[in-house]
Chains A and B, each alone.
Chain A
Amino acid sequence: DAGVIQSPRHEVTEMGQEVTLRCKPISGHNSLFWYRQTMMRGLELLIYFNNNVPIDDSGMPEDRFSAKMPNASFSTLKIQPSEPRDSAVYFCASTSTGVPSPLHFGNGTRLTVT
């Protein structure tokens, strides 16, 4: 099984630019999560989807952040415009609903906004 695939692995951009992070969940999984990891705040849930529908986006920092899941095999997290404080590692994870199963994480995207 391929695992959760995130791209790019690293992204360096200038303040004000638009950033798009991509995620392909494990085939057959119907829940997808976006987490952000920083030294100060640790791992924070930004948003999650069940069956491509956003269920809880209360962790999205502000309107500059948006996430979509147009189909079961693809999701994006967009930041527009980006700011230096958005620098973090962004993880995507997937799992199946029903009997609780563990989250399977991608390798993350390390975002640096200068």
Chain B
Amino acid sequence: AQKVTQAQTEISVVEKEDVTLDCVYETRDTTYYLFWYKQPPSGELVFLIRRNSFDEQNEISGRYSWNFQKSTSSFNFTITASQVVDSAVYFCALSEAKTGANSKLTFGKGITLSVRP
């Protein structure tokens, strides 16, 4: 069975601090996909990134960066120079790679990030 663990439940930082959100996953599949979603206070779920299990390159997008390490089954998310608008719940998710099921996501419990001015 697949499982995603986000051990941190709540994180509070001051604006401009860097913050890392941890994600550890379990799967028996050799091919799988990892995702991060953001849920701001307005409630919608916003897609941030997708990685496949064969691509361990780190990714940077503006202030956001992701570190994928298969050896530790982790897919961590770092926000550099955090801003108040980054305040949200962040979900890590894992999906199977079977045809027709490649978007069936298993979500972690989420991490509530609060960025104080």
Chain A residues in the interface with B (C-beta under 8 A): 31, 33, 42-43, 45, 48, 50, 55-56, 89, 91, 93, 95, 97, 100-108, 110
Is B47's CB under 8 angstroms from A102's CB? yes
Which listed residue, B100, B103, B107, touches A42 by the CB 8 Å rule?
A: B107
CB contacts (< 8 Å) of A100 on chain B: these are 33, 50, 52, 95, 97, 102-103
**Which positions 82-102 of chain B face chain A at CB distance < 8 Å?**
91, 95, 97, 99-102
Binary A-proximity of B101-114 (CB < 8 A = 1, otherwise 0): 11111111110000
Instruction: Give the secondary structure class of A's interface.
Output: strand
Q: In whole angstroms, what is the CA distance A91 to B105 when docked?
A: 13
A to B CB contacts below 8 Å, 13 in the list: A33-B105, A42-B109, A43-B110, A56-B104, A93-B45, A97-B99, A97-B103, A100-B95, A103-B103, A105-B44, A108-B44, A108-B45, A110-B43
